[in-house]
Amino acid sequence: MKKSYRRRRIIRGIALNMTAVIIGLAFSFPFLWMILSSLKLNKDVLAYPVNFLPPTWNWQSYVNVFTAFPSFNFPRFILNSVFVTVCAILLCLFLSATAGYGFSKYRFRGNALLFTIVLSTVMISFEAIVVPLFIFVRSLGMQNSYWGLIIPEGLSAFGVFMMRQFFYALPNDYLESARMDGANEYLIFARIALPMARTALLALVIFHAQYVWNMLLWPMILISSPDMRVLPQGIALFKGGYNTPYPEQLAACVISCLPLVLLYLFFSKYFIKGVAMTGIKG
Amino acid sequence: MRASGYSVTALQRHGYVFVAPTLILFSVFLIYPMLSAFDLSLFDWNLISAKRFVGLKNFRLMLQDPMVVNSYVRTLSFCALTVIATNVLAFVFALMLQSNLAKAKNFLQSLIFLPVVLSLVAVGVVWELMFQSTGLISMAVRSIFGFSPAWLTDTRAAPYAMVIIATWKSVGFYMIMYIAGLLDIPETYYEAARIDGAGFWRQLTRITVPSLRNTFVLTIVSSIIFSFGQFAIQYVITKGGPSHSTEILALLIYRQGFELYKFGYSSALSVLFFMTLLVFSVIQLKLMRAGE
């Protein structure tokens, strides 16, 4: 009786783990396939029968993507993407931390109402406002500018929500004792509250990086000057071109995935914490 | 206790300073554009000639436009299939990885989460290759079932190809949310259930699912909002084709506005988009309240 139970448990354990491994491999496979295909020759990418490994390793594609296409300045696209992402994240951190702190630590009139308004903007996605936002941003003279990308992409109702949850859970005692010592409110925020929020802020960085780095719709609309394009836009337009070479296109894809994959590998703990925080009950 | 130091109103006013930057930028760059979408939808405008007030004409046209009706139905079905597939898989994977029998949880979790961090455009490029007639997926499907649909050129198959990609991309994200929810359930519930002799299914339906009620609502609603606004996958792979079978709403808004320069009409579509999400969100709030 006991023995057969144990055997069943072992069999179930093996079945479960094998299934999990197969699922895990299946989910990560397309990325591997992206890398492998980027190292094939153009004729081998879609060759029949399928070549799993590149018959000839074509490392040249990673050089070509930077040099062989004068109308697609990928180094510039990468710089644009990095700059926009970094600035949008900084903006997002600043807004989320200050507003999250303000909403959680001060009981001013209209707090609940204003917070509800901010939170309800979760529903206002780019798709719903692209036309008026474009018209407005253009009227500010921000078409084809970094600011036009950075400001709208730096706004995150989720970030405010997350930081509010975090500061709400932070005990007031620390702040109170600093107040007793006569520190002013902004110093308390900058010197005491903010350093304690490091983990939450890092989670937000990783979370928002993914959103901004991969943004396609807004840059497609705002940016028409080739020099101002960001990386996803560059790849999407490159792909739409006539007779695009697959390996180079895939090399650009791998390059565009690498920063976040690396960020994820190093900080997966925070990444997962960030996702889990979306589930925190308010 | 919490309220003790908080009686001074002057002190509380600092709160306004802290929330002001967010309120200003959100109002200017999110709320104002949203409101002006309603306004713009009442005009004919191509950004160059003068704006012309046309009342509700854009909405009337929209309701009769077979492209809009098609796109709306396509969006709803894409959204429904993606949300169901994503949440079912995410929940099942979460259960698997949280099981006591599972080994190397973190590693497997990372593998399933990997697609979440990949760039949507990049992902579109590689999936398009795999879905080609000599691509990997078509070959694999053919070798198993003897035939393979023309994933990207058959109007019956292409919408499903989009659902597969969108699901694959986001399952990891919701799986983590479910895992976080599962970790919140006190182990004592399960111990008590085991003492009462409850098996796996009973524990699942009596403890796990009811305890995750809020997690379910949150994941389902956020996956609705996310998949409803999907743009990149369709834009990169099919451009809405074949014969508009994958032309989801975000793509249509983009087309009408920035390819055909019908900004009023495009705004009317945005209003439709927003109102649909608003309805979903109201339902969400109702469900959340009912759960409390």
Which of A96, A129, A175, A248 is the best mutation test for B, with the most CBs of B within 10 A? A129
Tally of residues, chain A: 282
pLDDT the model gives residue A135: 92
Nearest-Cα residue of chain A relative to residue B120: A214
Question: A185 burial class (0-12, 13-18, 19+ CB within 10 angstroms)?
Answer: buried
* Sequence-distant (≥ 6) Cβ neighbours of residue A204 within 8 angstroms: A92, A93, A96, A156, A159, A162, A163, A274
The string over B144-172, giving b where at least 16 C-beta atoms fall within 10 Å of a residue's C-beta and e elsewhere, is: eeeebbbbbeeeebbbebbbbbbbbbbbb
Q: Does A242 touch chain B (CB under 8 A)?
A: no
Q: What pLDDT digit, counting tens, does each position of A87-131 carry? A: 999 999 999 999 999 999 999 989 999 999 998 888 888 888 988
pLDDT the model gives residue B93: 94
Q: From the centroid of its chain, how far is CA A199?
A: 17
Cis ω before B242 (30° cut-off from 0): yes
Where do the structural domains in chain B lie, given as residue ranges?
1-40, 57-291
Per-residue pLDDT of chain B (292 residues; tens, 9 = 90+): 344 444 467 788 899 999 999 999 999 999 999 999 999 999 988 888 888 898 898 999 999 999 999 999 999 999 999 999 999 999 999 999 988 777 888 888 889 999 998 999 999 999 999 998 888 888 888 888 888 888 888 999 999 999 999 999 999 999 988 998 898 888 888 888 888 888 888 888 888 998 888 888 888 888 888 898 888 899 989 988 888 999 999 999 999 999 999 999 999 999 999 999 888 888 877 877 776 5
Residues of B in contact with A9 (CB under 8 A): 101
Where do the structural domains in chain A lie, given as residue ranges?
2-61, 71-278
Residues of A in contact with B16 (CB under 8 A): 102, 108
Most distant pair of Cα atoms in chain B: their distance: 76
Nearest-Cα residue of chain B relative to residue A108: B12
Residues of B in contact with A25 (CB under 8 A): 111
DSSP B47: S
For residue A247, the distance in angstroms to the closest alpha carbon of chain B comes to 11
Residues of B in contact with A157 (CB under 8 A): 26
Q: Does A173 touch chain B (CB under 8 A)?
A: no
Cα distances (Å, whole numbers) of residue A206 to A168, A172, A213, A233: 21, 27, 10, 21
Number of cross-chain residue pairs from A and B with Cβ atoms under 8 Å apart: 309
Rounded distance between C-alpha atoms, residue B108 and residue B114, angstroms: 10
Contact A129 B37 (CB under 8 A): yes
Secondary structure (3-state) at B53:
strand
Residues of B in contact with A10 (CB under 8 A): none
Rounded distance between C-alpha atoms, residue A243 and residue A238, angstroms: 10
* Sequence-distant (≥ 6) Cβ neighbours of residue A146 within 8 angstroms: A80, A83, A84, A87, A228
Residues of chain A with pLDDT > 70: what percent?
95
Rounded distance between C-alpha atoms, residue A10 and residue A156, angstroms: 47
Rounded distance between C-alpha atoms, residue B188 and residue B173, angstroms: 27
Residues of B in contact with A261 (CB under 8 A): 114, 117-118
Alpha helix locations (H) across chain B?
Answer: 9-12, 14-26, 32-40, 57-64, 66-98, 105-117, 120-131, 136-145, 158-183, 187-195, 200-203, 209-211, 213-228, 232-237, 249-254, 263-291
Q: Which residue has the higher pLDDT, A256 or A71?
A: A256
pLDDT the model gives residue B48: 81
pLDDT the model gives residue B2: 46
- Looking at the domain that runs over A71-278, which CATH code has it been given? 1.10.3720.10
Q: Which residue has the higher pLDDT, A71 or B270?
A: B270
Which of B119, B185, B231, B266 is the best mutation test for A, with the most CBs of A within 10 A? B119
Residues of B in contact with A169 (CB under 8 A): none
Contact yes or no for B248/B234 (Cβ under 8 A): yes
pLDDT the model gives residue B12: 87
At the top level of CATH, the class of B57-291 is mainly alpha
Among A24, A108, A172, beta carbon nearest to B15: A108
Which of B11, B22, B142, B222 is the best mutation test for A, with the most CBs of A within 10 A? B22
Rounded distance between C-alpha atoms, residue B140 and residue B130, angstroms: 10
CA neighbor of A200 nearest in space, from A109, A111, A277, A104: A277
Rounded distance between C-alpha atoms, residue B254 and residue A236, angstroms: 15
ipTM at complex level = 0.88
Contact yes or no for A193/A167 (Cβ under 8 A): yes
Contact B263 A135 (CB under 8 A): yes
Question: B175 burial class (0-12, 13-18, 19+ CB within 10 angstroms)?
Answer: buried
Tally of residues, chain B: 292
DSSP A3: H
Rounded distance between C-alpha atoms, residue B127 and residue B151, angstroms: 11
* Token pair belonging to B143: 């070798």
Which of A127, A156, A221, A261 is the best mutation test for B, with the most CBs of B within 10 A? A127
Rounded distance between C-alpha atoms, residue A144 and residue A224, angstroms: 6
pLDDT the model gives residue A243: 75
CA neighbor of A180 nearest in space, from A192, A170, A168: A192
Q: Average the pLDDT over A36-49 and give the result.
A: 85
Secondary structure (3-state) at A230:
coil
